[in-house]
Structure 1
Amino acid sequence: MARAMALILLVLSFLSISSASTTTVTKSSAAVAANFIKAQCGATEYPALCVESLSAYANTIGQSPQELAQAALSVSIGRAKAAKGYVTRSAKLSGLKKREVAAIKDCLEEIGDSVDRLSRSAEEMKKVKGSKGQEEFVWHVSNVETWVSAALTDDNTCMDGFSGKALNGNLKASIRSRIVNVAQVTSNALALVTRFASKP
């Protein structure tokens, strides 16, 4: 009986040590991933936003520049879709001026194009892993960069429609702040894709 009890205690202590060791490794991996994200985000135009928006993906990203770029594209898509939803709801508000209606309609078209291009970019980025040789790799990454750049242009074009004093007020400010955020995370995504593409 005493020997059985001693054996049970031995097994339990081993399991406890094993569990603590796994926790330590997990925490260590998370810290390494967090440091990697911070270092890579240093090359973007909005590093603090980059770190804030990508930290939730640390486990997936690890230390992979491709996974980092893929996550950045996912963030851009999510925020572009949220902005599109907000602009869509804004278009249904009552009492809008004719100029506001036109600006919102144009913006909605631009942000819709941005969502499409970012989605295509994310799908294209997934094909990079299966690239057979440098030429195919460059082809896929070039497509991603082209579409992300075009999405960024769409965001800026949307904001241009709200320039001038004809559209002062809360509606302009709220739409503009959301589109600016989309443009910033998209700019960061482009920088991370370019950084990934430049690595041998």
Structure 2
Amino acid sequence: MANFSIHLLLLLSSHYMLAMANSATNSNPDSTNFIKKSCRATRYPALCIQSLSSHASTIRQSELQLAQVALAVSLSRAQSAASFISKLPKMKGIKPREYRATKDCIEIMGDSVDQLSRSIKELGGMRRRVAGEDFAWHVSNVQTWVSAALTNENTCLDGFSGPSMNGNAKVAIRKRVLNVAQVTSNALALVNRFAARHGFAETTNLP
């Protein structure tokens, strides 16, 4: 994983960005409409609107800001889920298979948090990028890391599939990780939309 101090700084920065957005008392209707229109490109548009509308004053009508905030939301929820899951192996009555799946999920979600952190840092520097190959390279990095984070989140969920995995740990983890996977899927769609509108279309299908 990335150096802890760097990861913590990125995480605090994402929380700060979200807090600043939430502190605004008035949002521009044009910004809200921009978010609603943009969310049509996502797999979970209602969740997209719900999770991003309160940040309209930060997003304004910027596709880059929209993608950045979407990633910050995903990172914040992934970090919260990872923190919650890390406590479950100590849960009384947890089944052996659930224990192993939970331990795997802790590591997997840690990787997801790291990948989303990298994505935010990379996308945050896009204002300094020039069009062309340089832009394409950096956006491709973001897309790769967000896709990997989404794959990890789904892998965590897969670890609790099957009729024998029906304990409390499965219920608790699925609820949180499924939400993280959905907001990450939306964030990836918005990153892809930003990339396509600025001259770099990713050929990989949205997971």
Partners of 2:27 and 2:155 in 1: CA distance: 41
Matched residue type, 2:156: C
Which residue of 73, 88, 91 maps to 1:90?
88
Partners of 1:168 and 1:27 in 2: CA distance: 44
More helix by share: 1
**What stretches of structure 2 of length at least 5 have no aligned partner?**
1-23, 199-207
| Matches for 1:60-75 after TM superposition, within 5 Å | 60-75=58-73
Aligned to 1:56: 54
Partners of 2:98 and 2:49 in 1: CA distance: 35
Which residue of 111, 122, 125 maps to 1:127?
125
Partners of 1:29 and 1:82 in 2: CA distance: 27
Change (3 A) 1:28 1:159: closer
Partners of 1:36 and 1:127 in 2: CA distance: 23
Which residue of 175, 178, 185 maps to 1:177?
175
Which residue of 104, 107, 113 maps to 2:105?
107
Change (3 A) 1:166 1:63: same
Point out 4+ residue stretches in structure 1 off by more than 2 angstroms. Answer: 26-29
Partners of 2:153 and 2:25 in 1: CA distance: 38
**Helix, strand or coil for the counterpart of 1:171?**
helix
Partners of 1:190 and 1:139 in 2: CA distance: 16
Q: Report the TM-score when normalising by structure 2.
A: 0.81
Matched residue type, 1:126: G
Matched residue type, 2:50: E
Partners of 1:72 and 1:78 in 2: CA distance: 10
Q: Report the TM-score when normalising by structure 1.
A: 0.84
**Helix, strand or coil for the counterpart of 1:91?**
helix
Matched residue type, 1:83: A
**Helix, strand or coil for the counterpart of 1:34?**
helix
Q: Deviations over 1:119-170 (max 9, x none)?
A: 0000000111100332111111100000000000100110111011121033
Once the two structures are TM-superposed, the CA of residue 112 in structure 1 deviates from its matched residue by 0.6
User: Whose radius of gyration is greater, 1 or 2?
Assistant: 1
Partners of 2:26 and 2:92 in 1: CA distance: 54
Across the aligned residues of Structure 1 and Structure 2, the Cα RMSD in angstroms comes to 1.5
**Helix, strand or coil for the counterpart of 1:165?**
coil
Partners of 1:76 and 1:28 in 2: CA distance: 24
